[in-house]
């Protein structure tokens, strides 16, 4: 599933073609994805101007001049592809419709935004903009890891007394929003912290070291366009390439990259997800 860097990459790719532009035609080709689409979605979107494209955790938020916000979740395989952009940033014209093109936005500048989702785990919803923070998908989320509300003191406080493994704690969206399996593995590797340690038993000084590492890993991944392992594509159809910079994730059996360490990367399963780490230097 796309994590924060992939979703932020998509948001940035959509912004030049959507922000400030009116949706001249919205086409909804099925009644639902993961959940039913909101009533009259195509009608409510057609004619609306996109004032701003934001992101909250793994959700893209399109604020409209109609007073509503379109919430977009990419799910496992969702892609937002741009074609026909008059700014010349995207080299291809509108492609022929494909089987899994479920929602299509034609913008007044000539751009077409196509939401393609083969597995149909994505979702879209419309909610009043002034109530978006209370939406069920967003209301319980923790702070953004790249925002000011996420700092060393906050993280140490939220981890205090918790018996769950630190890997699970960092994946808990109520503690910090947007982190997923790939980037938590990378963060813990760089911090030298075992994913098996109980979150509440990690000394505050070690917890503090994770905050700048989290920010650095996410910033690097965003700059690289995210990680493309199976489905993720940028809005021009190109792959992200942060997967070529993995130091732990998906490197089972390969040498540890920590200078002086002679260990190898191991893979274990935690709460149904693969964890990659070095048993020697992550303690």
Encode pLDDT of 53-84 as tens digits: 999 999 999 999 999 999 999 998 888 999 88
pTM: 0.89
Q: What is the second-level CATH architecture of the domain 152-278?
A: Orthogonal Bundle (1.10)
Query: Average pLDDT of the chain?
Result: 90
In degrees, to the nearest 5, what angle opens at C-alpha 233 toward C-alphas 265 and 104?
150
Main-chain phi, psi angles of 8, to 5 degrees:
-65, -35
Q: What is the pLDDT of residue 236?
A: 53
Stretch (H or E) spanning 165: none
Q: What is the pLDDT of residue 231?
A: 47
Q: Residue 129: CB partners within 8 Å, gap ≥ 6?
A: 63, 64, 67, 68, 69
Identical topology for domains 4-134 and 152-278: no
Q: Which fold has domain 4-134?
A: N-terminal domain of MutM-like DNA repair proteins (3.20.190)
Residues classed as catalytic: 2-3, 58, 273
Per-10-residue mean pLDDT of the chain, 283 residues long, equals 87 94 97 96 98 97 98 91 69 71 95 92 97 98 97 97 97 96 95 98 96 95 69 49 77 95 97 95 95
Listed by start position, the domains of the chain span 4-134, 152-278
Helices (H), 66-129: none
Q: Compute the chain's Rg from CA coordinates.
A: 20
Q: What is the pLDDT of residue 97?
A: 72
Closest by CA position to 133, among listed 122, 143, 147? 143
Cβ neighbours around 20 below 10 Å, total: 15
Closest by CA position to 11, among listed 55, 58, 49, 64? 55
Q: Is 91 helix (H, G, I), strand (E, B) or coil?
A: coil
Cβ atoms of residues 55 and 132 within 8 Å: no
20 forms beta bridges with: none
């Amino acid at each position: 599933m796309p994590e924060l860097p992939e979703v932020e990459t998509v948001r940035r790719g959509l912004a030049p073609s959507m922000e400030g532009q009116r949706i001249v035609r919205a086409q909804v080709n099925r009644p639902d994805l993961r959940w039913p689409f909101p009533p009259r979605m195509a009608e409510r979107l057609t004619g609306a101007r996109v004032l701003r494209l934001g992101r909250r955790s793994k959700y893209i938020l399109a604020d409209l001049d109609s007073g509503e916000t379109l919430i977009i979740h990419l799910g496992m395989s969702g892609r937002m592809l741009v074609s026909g952009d008059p700014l010349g940033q995207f080299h291809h014209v509108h492609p022929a419709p494909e089987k899994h093109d479920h929602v299509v936005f034609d913008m007044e500048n000539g751009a077409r935004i196509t939401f393609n989702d083969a597995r149909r785990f994505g979702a879209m919803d419309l909610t009043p903009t002034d109530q978006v923070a209370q939406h069920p998908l967003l209301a319980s989320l923790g702070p953004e890891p790249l925002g000011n509300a996420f700092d060393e003191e906050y993280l140490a406080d939220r981890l205090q007394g918790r018996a769950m493994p630190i890997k699970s704690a960092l994946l808990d969206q109520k503690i910090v929003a947007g982190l997923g399996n790939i980037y938590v593995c990378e963060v813990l590797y760089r911090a030298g912290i075992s994913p098996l340690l109980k979150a509440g038993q990690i000394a505050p000084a070690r917890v503090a070291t994770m905050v700048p590492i989290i920010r650095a890993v996410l910033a690097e991944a965003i700059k690289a366009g995210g990680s493309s392992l199976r489905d993720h594509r940028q809005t021009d159809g190109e792959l992200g390439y942060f997967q070529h910079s993995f130091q732990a994730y998906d490197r089972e059996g390969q040498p540890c990259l920590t200078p002086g360490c002679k260990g190898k990367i191991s893979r274990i399963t935690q709460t149904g997800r693969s964890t990659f780490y070095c048993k020697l230097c992550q303690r």
